Structure 1
């Protein structure tokens, strides 16, 4: 996976003073909103995020999927790779027993499905239940996008990402 070009990193470095304050403010607000939406439990959010990120198919094509498609699609676990509790613990650094307890909460909420073999995947019920949190994420991304646009428009390294 490519993490960005040198040109993009240089642009961020050159415009860090303009981008960073927007990020810190917006990210702090996003975490505060997530904390409220996840009953004060950011580890619950992290476990759900790891399941979502680590079960995404390798052939994921974001150009073909809109937010509405993701939020309203019929449940199709075949389009996800399954993950187990130990893999979540290994990836996140959260102790296995804590992950197990968080998964039980996510299952009770209907956001995670556990197969007979213990493999976990995101449930179709998660998207509508988390629509407000998704809106919070979109607001965060919009602020970051605007910070980059403003930095580009001010001319300080403007050509770096064009």
Structure 2
């Protein structure tokens, strides 16, 4: 019986599909974000999340199992050194799929697949933006100096008025 054996074959033979998913998973681990079609992204999510769960236990056995799927030594070392320490507290859902619209050529639905803990816009707190001064040719600095002098004069005038009122 073939109960519960349904998944997307992506229009490819078994060997081609496994090689494609292996390459996509390695690219995702190395680059932390890739752009692909939605169907491939969903298949990739089912393929890569168990591998990321395996990487939580850093043993020779789990490294060999993951290498059997990824077939790239650099991707395996990146997974065990960089990715697994960040996801130790997470129980699942290591990837995020963000839909980006349709592709112009064939109108295929495109998306971005990324590792959840490596997106700085969602994970990090808002940092205070340091304003970078722009350099202008014509007296931009002079105008700024004049503006600060005017503000300083207004502040001294205001303090003089306050002291005059207190004296009365």
Instruction: Decide which structure has greater strand share.
Output: 2
TM-score by length of 1: 0.24
| TM-score of the pair, normalised by structure 2 | 0.23
Pair member with larger Rg? 2
Question: More helix per residue: 1 or 2?
Answer: 1
Higher relative contact order (CA 8 A, sep 6+): 1
